[in-house]
Chains A and B, each alone.
Chain A
Amino acid sequence: MHPAASVILFTTASGVGYGILALAPLLVAFGLLPDDNRWLGGALMIPALGLVTLGLLSSTFHLGHPERAWRALSQWKSSWLSREGVMAILSYPPALAYAYAWIVLGAVDGPWVWAGFATVLTAVGTLFTTGMIYRSLKPIPAWATDWTVAGYLTLGPLTGLVVIVAVATGFGLHPVRFQTLAIILVIAAAVAKNAYWSRQLKVWEEHSQTTGAAVASPGNTVRSIEWPHTEANYVLKEMGYRVARKHAEPLRHITRNLLLVAPAAIFCVLPSILPLPYLIWAVIPGAVLTLAGVVVERWLFFAEAKHVVSLYYGVD
């Protein structure tokens, strides 16, 4: 599948944003983040809302008719893309209310706590619907698995957490308080991505068909001898992207190291070893490395996924 830059930017940016929105109210509720620090609230909630807004806007860049984007909210009964749009819009009122309480009122209590829970639910809901868009596409066998959804549900909070830790450390909070959550999320993300990748390596042979089945000639060996067109057409440009597969293995290693090993070392181990003043110089690069890992992961997610239409072009 062709990895459109706007889609990679959208899912990465909004993943970080919804990750913060999904975790910050919980961390406040468990007393790991102070709700009486307005500046900390601003430094978390404003970037989070900015990132999800940036993500939403960039997702319209690749549309043929961005001015009609509002129509995408109408078909939530059948379409996961529509449901994602609805969830994304639904997340704004509670997130804005929660940000108002934290930043303007300087305390999250009473009904504002419920706004926090609503923020968590809608943020997780948006990540879930994003994953379901890809999971529901049967012609792309690599995507048609619950591990796709698990990837979106773990990587969003993981990237959200590394940003929260970097910001909180900047505010003088010792990152060791986030250690348990960091360990849980890194392990969950590692399980989800490794399961996705190991399934992906064999799914084409196991679940998809041959060119013979695609041309109503099952059981026979079918070799493509002439395409309908001499130049690449829309179908090949959009669905036949193959550059990444050549370098898939090294790129998976890079992703694994950036996305899983780096946060494991920096967020799970270092806080117990290093004193606070030095930790800020570890968690900021750590957050940057993790985000770079998600960009590579997202790019691979698209570029490595083969569409069954390539069978018609002789790719067995």
Chain B
Amino acid sequence: MTCLPEKTTRKLGLVIDLDTCVGCHACVTNCKEWNTGGHMAPLTDTNPYGAEADGVWFNRVHSYEVTTPEGNSQSLHFPRSCLHCEDAACVTVCPTGASYKRTSDGIVLVDEDKCIGCKLCSWACPYGAREYDVFEGVMKKCTLCVDRIYNENLDQEDRVPACVLTCPTGARHFGDLGDPQSDVSRLVRKREGRDLMPEMGYQPTNKYLPQREKSGAAGTETNQSPALAPLEDTSGASGLLGWVDRMLERMD
């Protein structure tokens, strides 16, 4: 049934560090690479080498300019994927039982053999995490690499989602957010990890670590005018360096 489990044994999910992410799209690429051969395979593309290329992706990275009320601005790279919500309306709206949330680990999955492709689940998701496969006629979504994390054919250190494994800056972390002592839970506490659009009431499992206050933040001159200072005034220079300065000026 598409009723949600009252409680899941574990809450597997991602913690994404917005301070560390550089927006390189490596997680996007490795996600597509692994999953187009994985549990939800294939992740089909429409006209991939022509105009208006389109296709199914489970992970998308946006880039933004963030300006604080004090007037400081910086860039923000934001990976967007399924948050494996506790109150996942994408599951409850499903009329067929194709969408489900696992009681053992909280992962939200789609049974492609039951999906009728009505797309209602994608409407119910505030985060745009579900993408419809026009060739297969079914809805697809992030599986949290369910075919990697329990895969005994892989070495222990490789049993993490493909996006986490590939991130070159270590901005993505995977673990049990239901266990307060897990590394990811500690990280969320330490860095005050946040939910996306908490007012929606979906109780996302994945957390986002906000950008740190940069040195020179809070309205100081350094951060407000990040342009280089003009060449320094050397009119009063003396000694050897003063002589070099005067010689070089004659050559201009």
Q: Which residues of A contact B (CB under 8 A)?
A: 1, 62-66, 68-69, 71-75, 77-82, 85, 133, 136-140, 209, 211-217, 219-235, 238-239, 307-309, 312-314
Contacts and interface: CB of A to CB of B under 8 A. Distances in A.
Interface of B: 1-4, 18, 25, 28, 51-57, 60-69, 75-76, 78, 80, 89, 91-98, 114-120, 122-128, 131-134, 136-139, 194-197, 199-201, 208, 210-211
Contacts, number: 201
Majority DSSP secondary structure for residues of B touching A: loop
Given A64-B115, A75-B96, A222 B64 contact: yes
Given A63-B117, A63-B118, A215-B64, A82 B53 contact: no
B116 A66 contact: yes
A209 B91 CA distance: 23
Contacts of A222: 64-67, 76
Nearest to B69: A219
B92 A213 contact: no
Contacts of A77: 1-3
B211 to A, nearest CB: 7
A82 B3 CA distance: 13
A77 B210 CA distance: 38
A137 B199 CA distance: 14
A234 B56 contact: yes
Contacts of A64: 115-118, 132-134, 136-139
Nearest to B120: A81
18 contacts: A62-B119, A65-B115, A65-B138, A75-B96, A78-B1, A78-B2, A137-B89, A137-B124, A138-B89, A215-B76, A222-B65, A222-B76, A223-B64, A225-B65, A232-B54, A238-B119, A239-B122, A312-B62
A202 B193 CA distance: 31
Nearest to A311: B197
A139 B97 contact: no
Nearest to B113: A68
Nearest to A307: B123
Contacts of A66: 116
A225 B64 CA distance: 5
A81 B52 contact: no
Given A65-B138, A238-B132, A213 B197 contact: yes
Given A216-B18, A224-B64, A71 B197 contact: no
A215 B114 contact: no
A126 B233 CA distance: 81
Nearest to B114: A71
Contacts of B208: 215-216
B62 A226 contact: yes
Contacts of A217: 18, 64, 66, 76, 210-211
B65 A79 contact: no
A234 B131 contact: yes
A222 B60 CA distance: 18
Given A75-B94, A239-B128, A307-B123, A226 B89 contact: no
Contacts of A63: 116-118, 137
